[in-house]
Amino acid sequence: MTEVTMNIWRGDSSGGSFYEYKLERVEGEVVLDVVHRIQATLAPDLACRWNCKAGKCGSCSAEIDGKPSLMCMTRMDTLPNDKITITPMKTFPIIRDLVTDVSFNYVMARQIPPFTPGDPEPDGTYRMQQIDIDRAQEFHKCIECFLCQDVCHVIRDHEVNKLYYAGPRFFVKLASLDMHPLDTVDRRELIRQHLGLGFCNITKCCTEVCPEHIKITDNAIIPLKERVVDSSYDPIAWLGRKIRRKVKYTVEQAYALAPAQVAPTALDRVSATAIDDEGKS
């Protein structure tokens, strides 16, 4: 029976270091199994987040030998070395050991205007064709493991960009909304100016790490970039819209339609303050 050394980073916000755990290899195990064996035998206080062990809950995200991966979907026999390094996701603040605080993602999620359909058909229903929604099915596979957010160098290596950048997971969300045949909101200016699509330099790391194999860059981010080009950088497209008088709801109108569903953004706060000031004067 061969042995494997698990080199796990352990610590909290005050600091940490690597701890080595030597175990026997067991055929068919995934990394999460080994971490559970360490918890059961060598380090009962080792913190790790997990739930389904089937690659569907997105809880056990970590970095295995430097690559963002799901621990439950990484087989031990696919790792070439006998010494395996596990660290928490680097992009997010540490809570303890392999557990990180991913609340940045929930803040960003609340900034996205929700699905806003137009008026229903005369019979009160909404109808759409299958080919109109096929494209977005891929995006709905997202399990919110946030590996794409973790690997994205825009916020991983330049944390200050977290203030202006939603990240790949939310570009997938925005693409699914923007491509929806019944949606009426024009989110392109929001995406360009406030959610930082321009920061993405399409190096495709998000696509490489996605455990659901969503083609994030090719099918979500680049189409969004092209839609933003339509609205902001292409004079011919702008002229075409003017001639056809094609208008969608603005983000502000969408918020007004669904105020209870969205957290007000910093922008709303500024405009509300401006209205208050006007009222007082």
Partner 1 sequence: MVSTVEDTGAKSGTAIPVEIGKPRGGPEGRRTLRQDRWWLSPAVTVTVLTSFVAYATFAAFQGRYYYVGAQQHRNLISPFYSPCIANSCQRVAGSHPLGIWASFWNFSPALLILIVPLGFRLTCYYYRKAYYRSFWQSPPACGVADGHKSYTGETRFPLILQNIHRYFLYLALLFNVVLTMDAVLAFNFPGQGIGFSVGTLVLCVNAALLWIYTVSCHACRHLCGGQLNKFSKHPIRYRFWKAITPLNARHMQLAWVSLIFVALTDLYVRLVASGIIHDYKIF
Q: Taking CB under 8 A as the criterion, which residues in 107-166 touch partner 1?
A: 107-108, 110-111, 128-129, 131-132, 135, 151, 153-154, 156-163
Closer CB to partner 1, residue 41 or residue 120?
120
Round to whole Å and give the CA distance between 162 and 155: 6
Tell me which of 16, 55, 114, 117 binds partner 1, using CB under 8 A.
16
Closer CB to partner 1, residue 54 or residue 201?
201
Q: Taking CB under 8 A as the criterion, which residues in 66-85 touch partner 1?
A: 66-68, 80-81, 85
Closer CB to partner 1, residue 93 or residue 120?
93
What stretch of H or E contains 189? Answer: helix 188-193
Which residues make Cβ contacts (< 8 Å) with residue 117, sequence separation at least 6?
Answer: 126, 182, 183, 184
168 lies in the site for partner 1, by CB under 8 A:
no
Tell me which of 20, 77, 82, 234 binds partner 1, using CB under 8 A.
234
Q: In 3D, which of 259, 276, 196 has the Cα closest to residue 228?
A: 196
As given in the structure block, the two tokens for residue 248 are 């969608």
7 burial type by CB count under 10 A (0-12 exposed, 13-18 middle, 19+ buried): middle
CB of 253 closer than 8 Å to CB of 268 = no
Round to whole Å and give the CA distance between 60 and 102: 12
Neighbours of 136 (CB within 10 A): 18
Neighbours of 42 (CB within 10 A): 14
Q: Taking CB under 8 A as the criterion, which residues in 27-56 touch partner 1?
A: none
Q: Which stretch binds partner 1 (CB under 8 A): 6-14, 32-40, 53-61, 115-123?
A: 6-14
Closer CB to partner 1, residue 54 or residue 246?
246
Which residues make Cβ contacts (< 8 Å) with residue 127, sequence separation at least 6?
Answer: 121
Strand-strand pairing, 67-70 and 99-100: unpaired
In angstroms, give the least distance from the CB of 131 to partner 1: 5
Tell me which of 208, 212, 253, 257 binds partner 1, using CB under 8 A.
208
93 lies in the site for partner 1, by CB under 8 A:
yes
218 lies in the site for partner 1, by CB under 8 A:
yes
Distance set, CA 62 to CA 49, 71, 80, 98, 210 (Å): 9, 7, 18, 7, 13
In angstroms, give the least distance from the CB of 32 to partner 1: 17
Tell me which of 74, 91, 116, 149 binds partner 1, using CB under 8 A.
91
Round to whole Å and give the CA distance between 245 and 241: 6
Tell me which of 71, 179, 214, 220 binds partner 1, using CB under 8 A.
179
Q: Taking CB under 8 A as the criterion, which residues in 236-255 touch partner 1?
A: none
